[in-house]
């Protein structure tokens, strides 16, 4: 690679906004706090929907019995059953199955999607063994984790506001997703009550709390991104219902839709957004989450190929295909520790059909992955700081020893080590040292599935 290309690489990188300067991180955090207040004040008061989850009690550990969960929110959906042991019993047994959603169903009709899901659920129920004990005369109960923006009317009903993450099924928008699922279950002969409708972040919060009482925030970094947290019910001006006894309400922020003039948007982000299924929406998600990071890298590489012949005289045709470079591949390249960056070389060859890349070119690619991942992770950390500020947990009063745990989940957080480490170290950096000692990110492995089952238990039809 010649000098020109190196220069262009540097420029390309800088354009993606190398560091998200410290001051920007604080501005983003403050903007997040401001938007949280606005979203709680009135319906439609902010880009942040700050949805009321109708979950005013998190699991206590006393939940008991067999419960199902169904988790729909990305490219896969999962079905799960757990046997809960009651006080001190914990999760006695659990089984799950994961099924991928055929891409045509993500953009088809509501009935096709839900029938497919219900049919898979039917197969799973049919495999229930003796370990799981459903009391005589009871129907099975299900917690439905549905990770798209839903305006809930109760713990068991809610209207789909819009799709995200590549789903686009027009006739489902405006419908009650529990009714849609329930009719599909009926058509497929699944006898089950839906006892709780929860967002995956709310499920993760519930699952996290079950194992750690200091959990007050949940953040998911997966295909998309979102966060939920426990708010004082008095601090929700738009809530006109009765005050819950607990004095608390879980809020599903839908923070993927956060937007602020402080976000370091580049021409690549603007182009990605404009060409997406949901232009103008989910801007924070498009900067930080798994569906988009690899695509941002592709866009920058494409520009570098066009303007400074990064990969030779012509632009490799595959590089022009949107979403061809997936975030797991970006992550694999980013983590390549071999002396000749063999993984990078192979990925470029296998995915983009670019062969014989020099070590210099490979290093540029790694650096670009680093820049894009770092930016995303730092912005996500800034978002979390915004929540801590809203909760007043970004400072410690004299003698205070309150621990704050953030339950984290999602494939990006789980598998993209450099991203996770950057997110966690940035969060620590943004806090004073003494405060940082009291704040913990904890991986809540599949908390959302178990959380939904736990919430089905605490909202059982039979108690
Ligand atoms: P979803 O968000 O679809 O419910 P997950 O939480 O499992 O599901 O997240 C899946 C997403 O995580 C993928 O779309 C991908 O963006 C990201 N991901 C999965 N594996 C990796 C990996 N090895 N490195 C980076 N990102 C990954
Ligand atoms: Mg998920």
Tens-place pLDDT, residues 36-54: 999 999 999 999 999 999 9
Q: Which token pair is 460?
A: 């059982």
- pLDDT for res 18: 53
Atom of ligand 1 nearest to the CA of 73: 4
Predicted TM-score (pTM) of this structure: 0.93
Tally the residues of the chain: 463
Q: Whose CA is nearest to atom 24 of ligand 1?
A: 328
Which atom of ligand 1 lies nearest, measured to the CA of 291?
16
**Top mutation candidate among 73, 163, 222 for ligand 1, by most atoms within 8 Å of CB:** 222
Q: Indicate if the pLDDT at residue 71 is higher than 70.
A: yes
Interaxial angle between packed helices 359-391 and 327-334, expressed in degrees from 0 to 180 and rounded to the nearest 10: 110
What are the backbone angles phi and psi of residue 418, rounded to the nearest 5°? -60, -35
Residue carrying the six token digits 């940035």: 426
**Mutual orientation of helices 290-308 and 359-391 as an angle, nearest 10°?**
140
pLDDT in tens, 141-151: 999 999 999 99
**pLDDT tens digits, one per residue of 414-459:** 999 999 999 999 999 999 999 999 999 999 987 888 999 999 999 9
332 is written with which tokens? 């694999």
Residues acting as catalytic residues? 165, 200
- Separation of 448 CA from ligand 2 center, angstroms? 8
Distance 289 CA to ligand 1 centre (A): 9
State the chain's maximal CA–CA distance in angstroms. Answer: 76
Residue nearest (by alpha carbon) to ligand 1 atom 3:
74
For residue 339 the two structure tokens come to 């002396």
Cβ neighbours for 113, distance < 8 A, ≥ 6 positions apart: 101, 105, 106, 169, 172
Q: Residue 197 in 3-state DSSP? A: strand
Residue in 360, 377, 378 with CA at minimum distance from that of residue 8: 360
pLDDT attached to residue 13 = 52
Q: Which atom of ligand 1 is nearest to the CA of 410?
A: 6
Rounded to whole angstroms, the Cα distance separating 89 from 267 reads 54
Q: 351: Cβ–Cβ under 8 A, 6 or more apart, which residues?
A: 318, 324, 325, 329
């Amino acid at each position: 690679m010649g000098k020109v290309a190196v220069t262009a690489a540097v420029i390309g990188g800088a354009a993606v906004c190398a560091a998200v300067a410290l001051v920007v991180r604080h501005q983003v955090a403050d903007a997040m706090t401001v938007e949280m207040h606005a979203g709680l004040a009135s319906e439609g008061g902010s880009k942040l929907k700050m949805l009321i989850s109708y979950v005013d009690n998190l699991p206590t550990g006393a939940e008991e019995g067999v419960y199902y969960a169904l988790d729909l929110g990305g490219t896969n959906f999962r079905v799960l059953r757990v046997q809960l042991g009651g006080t001190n019993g914990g999760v006695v047994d659990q089984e799950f199955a994961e099924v991928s959603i055929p891409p045509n169903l993500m953009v088809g009709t509501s009935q096709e999607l839900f029938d497919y899901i219900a049919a898979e659920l039917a197969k799973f129920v049919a495999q229930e063994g003796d370990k799981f004990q459903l009391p005589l005369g009871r129907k099975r109960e299900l917690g439905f984790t549905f990770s798209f923006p839903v305006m809930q009317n109760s713990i068991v009903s809610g209207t789909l506001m819009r799709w995200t993450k590549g789903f686009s099924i027009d006739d489902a928008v405006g419908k009650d997703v529990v009714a849609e699922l329930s009719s599909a279950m009926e058509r497929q002969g699944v006898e089950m009550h839906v006892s709780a409708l929860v967002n995956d972040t709310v499920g993760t919060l519930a699952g996290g709390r079950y194992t750690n009482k200091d959990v007050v925030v949940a953040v998911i970094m997966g295909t998309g991104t979102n966060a939920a947290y426990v708010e004082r019910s008095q601090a929700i001006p738009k809530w006109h219902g009765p005050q819950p006894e607990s004095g608390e309400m879980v809020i599903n922020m839908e923070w993927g839709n956060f937007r602020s003039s402080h976000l370091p948007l580049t021409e690549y982000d603007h182009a990605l957004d404009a060409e997406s299924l949901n232009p103008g929406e989910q801007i924070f998600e498009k900067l930080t989450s798994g569906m988009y990071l690899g695509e941002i890298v592709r866009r920058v590489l494409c520009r570098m190929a066009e303007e400074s012949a990064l990969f030779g005289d012509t632009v490799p045709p595959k590089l022009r295909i949107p979403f061809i470079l997936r975030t797991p591949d970006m992550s694999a390249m980013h983590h390549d520790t071999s002396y000749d960056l063999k993984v990078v070389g192979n990925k470029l060859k296998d995915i983009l059909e670019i062969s014989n890349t020099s070590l210099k070119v490979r290093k540029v690619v790694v650096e670009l992955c680093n820049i894009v991942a770092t930016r995303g992770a730092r912005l996500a950390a800034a978002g979390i700081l915004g929540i801590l500020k809203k909760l007043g947990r970004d400072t410690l009063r004299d003698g205070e020893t309150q621990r704050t745990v953030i339950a984290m989940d999602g494939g990006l957080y789980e598998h993209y080590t450099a991203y996770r480490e950057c997110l966690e170290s940035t969060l620590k950096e943004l806090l004073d040292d003494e405060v940082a000692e009291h704040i913990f990110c904890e991986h809540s492995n599949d908390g959302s599935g178990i959380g939904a089952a736990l919430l089905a238990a605490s909202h059982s039809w039979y108690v």
